[in-house]
Amino acid sequence: MVVDDKASMREMLRAAFEERGLSVTTASDGIEAIDLMAKQTFDAIVTDLSMPGKDGIEVLKAAKSVSPDTPVFIVTAYGTIDTAVEAMRLGACDFVAKPFNLAELELKLDKALRTPPSAARIGGRLGSARPPMAGDSSHTKQVLRMIEKIGPSRSSVLITGPSGTGKELVARAIHDASPRREQPFVALNCAALAPGVLESELFGHEKGAFTGAVERGIGRFERAHNGTLFLDEVGEIDPSIQVKLLRVLQDGVFERVGAKTTTAVDVRIVAATNKDLREAILAGAFREDFFYRLNVFSIQLEPLKNRRDDIPALVDHFLGEFCVETGKDVTDIDDDVMAFFMSYPWPGNVRELENVIERAVVLAEGESVTRDDLPQDMLFYREQPEPESGLRPEAASLVESTGELESELIRGALEKFRWNKTKAAEHLGLKRTTLQYKIRKYGLE
């Protein structure tokens, strides 16, 4: 449902959302919206904040009382930090300032509509469905070994790497490998919030701490007590908040906004960034003491184009995930599509691969993904040539030896089962698509 007292805005959003295949109901003010909610349910609500009669906060309260899991987006040209905090405290999915980027709002809405209700209900502790931390690349195996080693520790971890490489996935894997696995995993994207909002989100606030704080608010640290707090885009945090986070890392205590007493917590912090924090330190944008407290353990994630052997396993996972979601039976991809995936540079990394597979499953007309199911701009993407490998001769020799051994194992399995690829894959513990890729890789056909 779209709620706005301006007809032009209602119709613009209606047209945009309907173009994406959504069924849209509109309301001209908060009173009409609340009446509609009493008669029917909605998958999501986008509401203006400032309206005559009942405003967007009233719409939000009514929506949460009727259906707590319904994502509600508050849109306004008159936003303040206090209002944003109040909206988020009451359960708003996001607070969007005008003028906004329509494509960005559509992406946020799509993500909210795909989020399982249980994940929305937890409010910060995300659901369990996630891509596998698996793959055949030496890089991924090294990361998995590191996770296994550092999981039992309570020390903080800093994960770095380009956007879309799976930093939150690694953070979750660290949590799952720790003694805290049965306790909350709470995630917060620090880039999305202004300093005042971020402080309240992290530490909570007391009743009356600011306009709209009608009751005590519990922050992410308290929600994550005895568990893990994942701070995404930590490089975007204002230095004034960094010093308060440093105190929690050092002493395990903080004050809620407006509080006169301290609160103690036991929380492991895992942080992530796509920035070079050492450069940010030199520029005065990041505190050096905070960096060293975060960087007790560090994990650097490589872009997907540098670990192509992970692609078949990720493709298999995403095919299964989106077949369940869509109810379709798309179980394979054409050989030429897999070959294209193995050569494509993946500028958006794992996130781009996930989106491509989701689109392909929706569009596929048979049981296999074909080139016709891929985005056209992807097929014509060009990248600058990569520099030659810097492997030392002895390292290259080791890689070749490992490849020769794997090739012989695969050939032996194929011959044993008379080139029945399905049985050979089962025997080797591989997915059929992964076996297909390796057969081509080693020229066994």
Q: Do residues 218 and 364 both lie within one domain?
A: no
Token pair, residue 58, equals: 């009233």
Q: Give the number of other Cβ atoms within 10 Å of residue 131's Cβ.
A: 16
Is 125 inside a domain boundary? no
Is 148 inside a domain boundary? yes
DSSP-based three-state secondary structure for 353: helix
Mean pLDDT of 198-226: 85
Q: Do residues 284 and 324 both lie within one domain?
A: no
Burial of 443 (0-12, 13-18, 19+ CB in 10 A): exposed
Listed in sequence order, the DSSP H helices in 74-207 are 81-89, 102-114, 117-122, 138-150, 167-176, 195-203
Mean pLDDT of 320-347: 90
Token pair, residue 189, equals: 């994207």
User: Is the whole-model pTM more than 0.85?
Assistant: no
CATH number at residue 85: 3.40.50.2300
What is the structure's pLDDT at 389? 44
Q: Do residues 394 and 273 both lie within one domain?
A: no
Q: Do residues 195 and 238 both lie within one domain?
A: yes
CA end-to-end span of the chain, whole Å?
55
Is 66 inside a domain boundary? yes
Q: Which DSSP state fits 387?
A: P
User: Among 64-78, 107-121, 304-318, 425-439, where is mean pLDDT lowest?
Assistant: 107-121
What is the structure's pLDDT at 78? 59
Question: Which one of 58-67, 152-161, 387-396 scores highest in mean pLDDT?
Answer: 152-161
Is 316 inside a domain boundary? yes
DSSP-based three-state secondary structure for 369: strand
Domain, as residue range, for 18 = 2-115
Q: Do residues 82 and 33 both lie within one domain?
A: yes
DSSP-based three-state secondary structure for 18: helix
Q: Considering only residues 358 and 213, tell me which one the structure prediction assigns the higher pLDDT.
A: 358
What is the structure's pLDDT at 83? 66
User: Among 124-133, 198-207, 290-299, 414-423, where is mean pLDDT lowest?
Assistant: 124-133
Is 128 inside a domain boundary? no
Q: Do residues 294 and 329 both lie within one domain?
A: no
Q: Do residues 147 and 48 both lie within one domain?
A: no
Using one digit for the tens of pLDDT, what is the confidence trace for 78-113?
A: 555 566 666 776 778 877 777 777 877 887 787 777
Q: Do residues 338 and 406 both lie within one domain?
A: yes
Q: Is the pLDDT of residue 423 over 70?
A: yes
Q: Which DSSP state fits 237?
A: S
Using one digit for the tens of pLDDT, what is the confidence trace for 155-190?
A: 999 999 999 999 998 999 999 999 999 999 999 999
Q: Is 28 left (phi over 0), alpha (psi -120 to 50) or beta?
A: alpha
Q: Considering only residues 62 and 272, tell me which one the structure prediction assigns the higher pLDDT.
A: 272
DSSP-based three-state secondary structure for 156: coil
Q: Is the pLDDT of residue 56 over 60?
A: yes
Q: Do residues 62 and 75 both lie within one domain?
A: yes
Which percentage of the chain shows pLDDT scores above 70?
87
Report the sign of the C-alpha dihedral through residues 96, 375, 343, 424, in that order.
Answer: positive
Domain boundary among 259, 280, 302: 302
Q: Do residues 425 and 341 both lie within one domain?
A: yes
Q: Do residues 56 and 104 both lie within one domain?
A: yes
Is 124 inside a domain boundary? no
Domain boundary among 246, 277, 302: 302
Question: Which one of 17-31, 118-132, 263-277, 330-344 scores highest in mean pLDDT?
Answer: 263-277
Q: Whole-number mean pLDDT of the chain?
A: 83
Domain boundary among 302, 333, 363: 302
Using one digit for the tens of pLDDT, what is the confidence trace for 60-71?
A: 888 887 777 788
Q: Do residues 366 and 233 both lie within one domain?
A: no
CB 75 within 8 A of CB 93: no
Cα distances from 168 to residues 143, 158, 376, in angstroms, run: 13, 11, 29
Q: Is the pLDDT of residue 258 over 70?
A: yes
Is 120 inside a domain boundary? no
Mean pLDDT of 224-236: 95
CATH number at residue 228: 3.40.50.300
CATH number at residue 421: 1.10.8.60
Cα distance between residue 318 and residue 299, in whole Å: 24
Total domains present in the chain: 3
Is 133 inside a domain boundary? no
Mean pLDDT of 126-152: 76
Q: Considering only residues 362 and 436, tell me which one the structure prediction assigns the higher pLDDT.
A: 362
